[in-house]
Amino acid sequence: MAINFVNAFGNHALALRAREQRTDLIAANLANADTPNYKARDLDFQSVLKGLQSPTLKIAVTRSQHFSSAHEPLGTETKFRIPSQPSLDGNTVDSEQEQVRFAENALQYQVSLRFLDGKIAGLKSAIRGE
Amino acid sequence: MSSFKIFEIAGSAMSAQNLRLNLVASNLSNAESVSSSVNQTYRSRQPVFAAQLQEAMNQHSASTGVNVLGVVESQAPPRMEYAPEHPLANADGYIFKPNVNTIEEMTNMLSASRSYQDSVEVVNTAKQLLQQTLRLGQS
């Protein structure tokens, strides 16, 4: 019986990628907390995972000028946040909210890491057969 | 690897806020610098922030850092004071003081230091997450 790493790790590797991108996005929101006209963005995690689980048909690239759709699944699901207290300079970042979301996202990243760690430990003991 | 981009983003924010703090310090320290004509008077300086959109468009990514487009001088008129006995008074007996609003500058300083702290926290958390990722499967 061959060990299939994709099956063994399940969704957690994908979740890790999505969480990582969300960390980037929220960091960008926090970085631009004082930039006029900056609009806060976030990932719709559900739709990202759904898109990763069931990859849609991709457009074939037949010429070098064509855009490839290889990098599409992540990044297209970013949505603008609806501001609770929009400021006069057009900025929609609420830094307290972003801090909380950043902490939440970091924790969820660690959860995914923990799951992966468990899976790897299981695979290791299966390989050693002790 | 894209995880290192978070350090670029937070780093750009930190340098932008640092510049803002520098300008606040410059404005506050020159708040009482007197001169004898309108043109020689120190003017309050403010940074102009903008998101780094150009790079974001190139890399097909939504997360962007902060650019400092430049520093602008406030165009508000300087404060004119009648002080004929002042050594720098002009022919009519007036001296000119900068258009620095110290209360505005103090709030500016608080806001800048809070944003700087945010960025430092982001860097710390990202570093921890990366270190944990590096240790993956070693336990």
pLDDT for residue B52 = 79
Sign of the Cα pseudo-torsion (B13, B104, B107, A80, in order):
negative
Nearest-CB residue to A30 (from B2, B62, B122): B122
- Chain A, chain B: beta-carbon pairs less than 8 Å apart: 103
Which band of pLDDT confidence, cut at 50, 70 and 90, is reported for residue B14? very high
pLDDT for residue B1 = 44
DSSP annotation string for B34-70: -BSSTTTS---EEEEEEE-HHHHHHTT-S---EEEEE
pLDDT for residue A13 = 84
ipTM for the complex shown: 0.81
Nearest-CB residue to A95 (from B12, B20, B118): B118
Which band of pLDDT confidence, cut at 50, 70 and 90, is reported for residue B44? very high
Nearest-angstrom CA–CA distance, A22 and A9: 21
Determine, for residues A103 and B125 on separate chains, whether the beta-carbon distance falls below 8 Å.
yes
The label of the residue with tokens 């970091």 reads A106
Residue pair A20/A109 in contact (Cβ under 8 Å)? The answer is: yes
pTM: 0.81
pLDDT for residue B113 = 94
**Secondary structure of chain A: what % helix, strand, coil (to 5)?**
50, 5, 45
pLDDT < 70 positions in chain A: 1-3, 52-60, 66-77
Q: What is the mean pLDDT of residues B19-40?
A: 92
pLDDT for residue B61 = 61
Q: What is the mean pLDDT of residues B55-70?
A: 72
Q: Who's near A123: CB < 8 A, 6+ residues apart? A: A3, A8
List the structure tokens of A3.
């060990």
Closest chain A residue to B50, measured at CA: A35
Nearest-angstrom CA–CA distance, A95 and A103: 12
B24 touches chain A (CB under 8 A): no
B121 touches chain A (CB under 8 A): yes
